[in-house]
Chain A
Amino acid sequence: MRNDWEAVIGLEVHAQLSTESKIFCGCSTRFGDEPNANTCPVCLGLPGALPVLNRRAVELAARAALALGLRINRRSIFARKNYFYPDLPKGYQISQYDQPFSEHGELEIMTAVRDAEGHAREWRPKKIRITRLHLEEDAGKNMHEGLPDTDRYSYVDLNRAGTPLIEIVTEPDFRSSWEAYDYVNHVRQTLRWIGASDADMEKGNLRCEANVSVRRKGEERFGTKVELKNLNSVRFMQRAIEYEIERQIGVLESGGSVVQETRLWDDRAGETRPMRSKEEAHDYRYFPEPDLPPLVVTDEFIARVRAEMPELPSARRQRFMDQYGLAFNDAAQLTTDRALADYFERAAQAANNARAAANWVRTELLRELEASKTEVESCPITPENLGALIRLIDQGRISGKQGKEVFAEMFATGKSAEEIVRQRGLEQVSDVAEIERLVEQAIAANPKQVEQYRAGKEGLLGFFVGQVMKASQGRANPKIVNELLRAKLNG
């Protein structure tokens, strides 16, 4: 971004809550079923059907609100947001408007500027104000392609209609596309961590929209904002915002003015385009939903949700740094996912060596999991077995190099380190008497080299080490070999 300009960005994130049934009826929320199979009079909007709120959706929304630093209102009300679209069978969406579920959040995220390759430079904390987090129902899905005669028809699948969502709205607190990127990743990670949402953007159960404007540095007033949609991944969102900032600066610098509109990101073309709007009369005529009573939550309810909350990723990352002496990047990598963080911590305890456990998990383990498309939960090496492998290395019973071979076999077979070391006869010989015998053999067999060594050619020590290792088939503990050779040759 050019130096004398500043971007002002606000974000709206929609996340699908991980419930079994819909927010106002008992239809399944399962993804991928036959179109319109999971529908009933309530989610089809048939006359006379009445919505009843799903308790679990409220619990998950409360968890999300607390984890993102919002205050939960003891009383909130549902409202109808009226508009016509084929994926909205009732002609209104049940949402919340002037008395939302939770408000006034403040969230600290870690953010970093990126270099040209997208690598983070220096991480620093930044506070983001969250305006509100409210409950609402999702709409169905319109299909515009892949079916017959889509030049004339659209097709509607209402399986998703009525799926519980939370909408999380921030204040315009982001000043760059990377801050927005780091925020959405933080929210995504947190929602997954606390089990509130799968937050999978590919499946559409996490969606975001960005409001972007620019202004000259020092200017207090906001510029005209543009709403960005069709941001199907966090990376797309970052690119779309970046493009949009430059576009707006270009328009303003050439004397034009920014038009308030909705633009769609086209990732293939790498640009945003105005959404074709048919007389977009945005007048939702919100009014209180007469079919639902106010949503009242008690102090006991909030206390219970708080008590059930796991240690959050940012707290855990800090603890990994404090307790195990890990660097920020390493601790951050190990806390991207709760199962991974649990795995590391169990391995670290079993190994009694947290740094080694961190290294093994971050490099070997993640590589193998990635290569075999395995989730950490179904990793063939238990954290206890990885810990035991690390102990074998730390005790000098096998070398680090052998450790990697054993690790590969553990991953392939699920066997323990001990078992593999025993079967393959890998264990290092650390028996001093045994090594001493080999050292004496090596000295006796090479009198010339002994003479040269004693005359000052100390580099020959490596030659003797090699002889002993060869005689032991690589199994002698190198440290003991070195010590004994030195003692004998010098003596």
Chain B
Amino acid sequence: MLITEADIEKLATLARLEITEEERRALTPQIASIIAYVEQLNELDTSEVEPAIGGLTPEGERTPTMRDDEVRPSLGQKVALEEAPDPALGYFRVPKVL
């Protein structure tokens, strides 16, 4: 897969990252080599293998598929906002959007 500087620019935009021209030039071959590394997986024939979609714990156990519709205690406003950089009046406050 060919990775161009334009792809890096688009990725940066989608990730809300500002990158300099210099960084863009440096990142392009680095990301290209990471993708080439992962692409080695394509050499395996997986046509007979069911895709493993989600739901496994790090130990390889299946996670519970469903739970009953029961309300469990929430963190509450105070705890929820404890790690927020700029809480105000019970809300997360952020630079104006819209």
Using known A-B contacts A36-B80, A44-B80, A293-B53, determine if residue A56 contacts B74 with beta carbons closer than 8 Å: no
Establish whether residues B95 and A154, one from each chain, have CB atoms under 8 Å apart when the complex forms.
Answer: yes
B41 part of interface (Cβ distance < 8 Å): no
Smallest beta-carbon distance B3→chain A, Å? 15
A35 part of interface (Cβ distance < 8 Å): yes
Establish whether residues A50 and B69, one from each chain, have CB atoms under 8 Å apart when the complex forms.
Answer: no
Hey, which chain A residues are within 8 Å of B81, CB to CB?
Answer: 36
Establish whether residues B55 and A292, one from each chain, have CB atoms under 8 Å apart when the complex forms.
Answer: yes
Establish whether residues B66 and A152, one from each chain, have CB atoms under 8 Å apart when the complex forms.
Answer: no
Interfacial residues of chain B within 68-98, with CB under 8 A of chain A in the complex: 68-77, 80-81, 88-98
Complex interface: stretch among A26-34, A248-256, A335-343: A26-34
Distance A391 CA – B71 CA, assembled complex (angstroms): 48
Establish whether residues B69 and A21, one from each chain, have CB atoms under 8 Å apart when the complex forms.
Answer: yes
Measured CB to CB, the nearest residue on chain B to A275 is B98
Using known A-B contacts A44-B80, A152-B96, A285-B14, determine if residue A27 contacts B91 with beta carbons closer than 8 Å: no
Distance A253 CA – B63 CA, assembled complex (angstroms): 59
Distance A21 CA – B72 CA, assembled complex (angstroms): 8
Hey, which chain B residues are within 8 Å of A148, CB to CB?
Answer: 88-89
A489 part of interface (Cβ distance < 8 Å): no
Establish whether residues A28 and B74, one from each chain, have CB atoms under 8 Å apart when the complex forms.
Answer: yes
A449 part of interface (Cβ distance < 8 Å): no
Distance A28 CA – B98 CA, assembled complex (angstroms): 28
B25 part of interface (Cβ distance < 8 Å): no
Distance A289 CA – B73 CA, assembled complex (angstroms): 26
Establish whether residues B54 and A156, one from each chain, have CB atoms under 8 Å apart when the complex forms.
Answer: no
Establish whether residues B90 and A36, one from each chain, have CB atoms under 8 Å apart when the complex forms.
Answer: yes
Smallest beta-carbon distance A394→chain B, Å? 47
Interface string of A74-86 (1 = CB under 8 A from B): 0001100010111
Hey, which chain B residues are within 8 Å of A82, CB to CB?
Answer: 14
Indicate the size class of the contact surface on chain A. 35 or more
Indicate the size class of the contact surface on chain B. 35 or more
Smallest beta-carbon distance B95→chain A, Å? 7
Distance A223 CA – B89 CA, assembled complex (angstroms): 47
B65 part of interface (Cβ distance < 8 Å): yes
| Chief secondary structure at chain B's binding surface | loop
Hey, which chain A residues are within 8 Å of B60, CB to CB?
Answer: none
Using known A-B contacts A147-B89, A153-B95, A293-B65, determine if residue A281 contacts B74 with beta carbons closer than 8 Å: no
Residue among B69, B75, B92 making CB contact with A86, cutoff 8 Å: B92
Hey, which chain B residues are within 8 Å of A84, CB to CB?
Answer: 16
Hey, which chain B residues are within 8 Å of A20, CB to CB?
Answer: 69-71
Residue among A52, A151, A157 making CB contact with B91, cutoff 8 Å: A157
Measured CB to CB, the nearest residue on chain B to A19 is B69
Establish whether residues B90 and A35, one from each chain, have CB atoms under 8 Å apart when the complex forms.
Answer: yes
Residue among A56, A158, A279, A290 making CB contact with B69, cutoff 8 Å: A56
Smallest beta-carbon distance B71→chain A, Å? 5
Establish whether residues A293 and B97, one from each chain, have CB atoms under 8 Å apart when the complex forms.
Answer: no
Establish whether residues B94 and A294, one from each chain, have CB atoms under 8 Å apart when the complex forms.
Answer: no
Smallest beta-carbon distance A461→chain B, Å? 71
Establish whether residues A58 and B90, one from each chain, have CB atoms under 8 Å apart when the complex forms.
Answer: no
Residue among A27, A58, A292 making CB contact with B54, cutoff 8 Å: A292
Establish whether residues B77 and A35, one from each chain, have CB atoms under 8 Å apart when the complex forms.
Answer: yes
Using known A-B contacts A28-B71, A86-B94, A281-B14, determine if residue A293 contacts B77 with beta carbons closer than 8 Å: no
Using known A-B contacts A77-B53, A158-B92, determine if residue A53 contacts B67 with beta carbons closer than 8 Å: yes
Smallest beta-carbon distance A308→chain B, Å? 15
A412 part of interface (Cβ distance < 8 Å): no
Using known A-B contacts A20-B70, A39-B80, determine if residue A283 contacts B14 with beta carbons closer than 8 Å: yes
B33 part of interface (Cβ distance < 8 Å): no
Using known A-B contacts A144-B98, A281-B10, A288-B54, determine if residue A27 contacts B72 with beta carbons closer than 8 Å: yes
Interface string of A282-310 (1 = CB under 8 A from B): 01010011111111100000000000000
Residue among B68, B80, B92, B98 making CB contact with A55, cutoff 8 Å: B68
Hey, which chain B residues are within 8 Å of A41, CB to CB?
Answer: 75
Distance A291 CA – B58 CA, assembled complex (angstroms): 11
Establish whether residues A290 and B54, one from each chain, have CB atoms under 8 Å apart when the complex forms.
Answer: yes
Smallest beta-carbon distance B96→chain A, Å? 5
Establish whether residues A34 and B71, one from each chain, have CB atoms under 8 Å apart when the complex forms.
Answer: no
Measured CB to CB, the nearest residue on chain A to B66 is A55
Establish whether residues B13 and A279, one from each chain, have CB atoms under 8 Å apart when the complex forms.
Answer: yes
Establish whether residues A55 and B54, one from each chain, have CB atoms under 8 Å apart when the complex forms.
Answer: no
Interface string of B1-27 (1 = CB under 8 A from A): 000000000100110100000000000
Q: List 17 A-B contacts (CB under 8 A).
A: A20-B70, A21-B71, A27-B74, A36-B92, A41-B75, A55-B66, A55-B67, A143-B91, A147-B91, A148-B88, A148-B89, A152-B95, A154-B95, A156-B94, A281-B14, A288-B51, A289-B54
| 6 pairs of A and B residues whose beta carbons are closest in the complex | A293-B55, A26-B72, A56-B69, A155-B91, A156-B92, A55-B66
The interface of chain A, by Cβ under 8 A from chain B, is: 19-21, 25-28, 34-41, 44, 50, 52-58, 77-78, 82, 84-86, 142-144, 147-148, 150-158, 279, 281, 283, 285, 288-296
